[in-house]
Amino acid sequence: MFKDFKKIIFMSALTSVASLVSAQSWPTKTVTIVVPFPAGGTTDVLARAVSNKLSAAIGQAVIVDNKPGAGATLGADIVAKANADGHTLLMGAVHHTVATSVYKNLKYNFEKDFAPITTVALVPNVMTVSAKSPHNTVKDLMMAAKAVPEKLSYGSNGNGTAQHMIGTQFQMETGAKILHVPYKGSAPLTTDLLGGQVDMSFDTITPVLPFIKEGKLKALAVTTAKRSSALPNVPTLQEAGITNIAIGTWFGLLAPAATPKPVVARLNAEVVKIINSPEFKKQMVDIGAEPIGNKPEEMARQIKEETEKFANLVKVGKVTLD
């Protein structure tokens, strides 16, 4: 028994040494940040903002690899199965906490198969219509949607994304019936919104902000509890009378679950340093985002809480893939 105890202590020591060596030697090659959406969306913008500065900090190239599809679950699955050595990361988002309940045959478990590093930013979602739309307020649009069920449509970044959930809750709260049109990301959604192929969206503020400023899109409301500093004159949905909706979209870095803790700690330290830099904060202001930079355990708690919240919304709203 004593020999077994000594063996356990010895093996534990070896594991600790191996982790330390791994952390000290990391990175040994190019680090890849997988973005589960096409280029041009908020996830992509944030990943590139981090990658450029992270590369300089760690002395290795950091590239962004876009792997869109299946409501952001395709890219997540790739990272979940990647080598857990800190060289393949995921720019995850609130969408992944929704997908857990929407997709019944996921090949990964978002809570168990990933090691949270840090939440990079929180971005408000904004209810947006084309400048040519006859609807100028939330009430206008809501009344039109209730008058002719499913005549109006809203686009999302895909099934099981935050935009899908906001659209679902909007219909639950108002009694309106709006056709859901899932896209593979913000870029194709915004193109169709501008062209009138879809009537509205609840996308994050980043990809639509330039078009709102140019007068090509109209912002009717933001979905967060507080107004956005990027659109201070645009009311919240709560101010517009939809009192129970307060949802924003967070984005954060994760690694495969078995990634050595010292490597995760190093990544957290380096990325949080970037997030807290004046240059990065200015970038976030410009795209309407709020920089976060929390600890891995805080991000893990956030993921758990939001997974439970959206599971309830999916159940009550009877959300299915369409």
pLDDT band at residue 78 under the 50/70/90 scheme: very high
Confidence of residue 316 (pLDDT cuts 50, 70, 90): confident
Beta-sheet strands, E only, within 165-261: 179-182, 200-201, 217-222, 248-256
Helix ranges, 39-178 (H): 42-58, 73-80, 95-102, 138-147, 162-174
Tens of pLDDT, residues 219-246: 999 999 999 989 999 999 999 999 888 8
**248-302, pLDDT tens digit by residue?**
899 999 999 999 999 999 999 999 999 999 999 999 998 889 999 999 999 999 9
Q: Please state, rounded to an integer, the average pLDDT across all residues of the chain.
A: 91
**Angle of helix 2-25 relative to helix 261-275, nearest 10 degrees?**
30
> Domains in the chain, please, with CATH?
29-122+249-317 (3.40.190.150), 124-222 (3.40.190.10)
Examine the pLDDT at 314 and tell me if it is beyond 70.
yes
Asked if the model's pLDDT at residue 52 lies above 50, the reply is yes
Share of the chain above pLDDT 70, in %: 92
- Strand segments, DSSP code E, in the chain are 31-35, 62-66, 88-93, 114-124, 126-130, 153-156, 179-182, 200-201, 217-222, 248-256, 290-291
pLDDT one-digit tens code per residue, 139-196: 999 999 999 999 999 999 888 888 999 999 999 999 999 999 999 888 899 999 999 9
Q: How many CB atoms lie within 10 A of CB 144?
A: 17
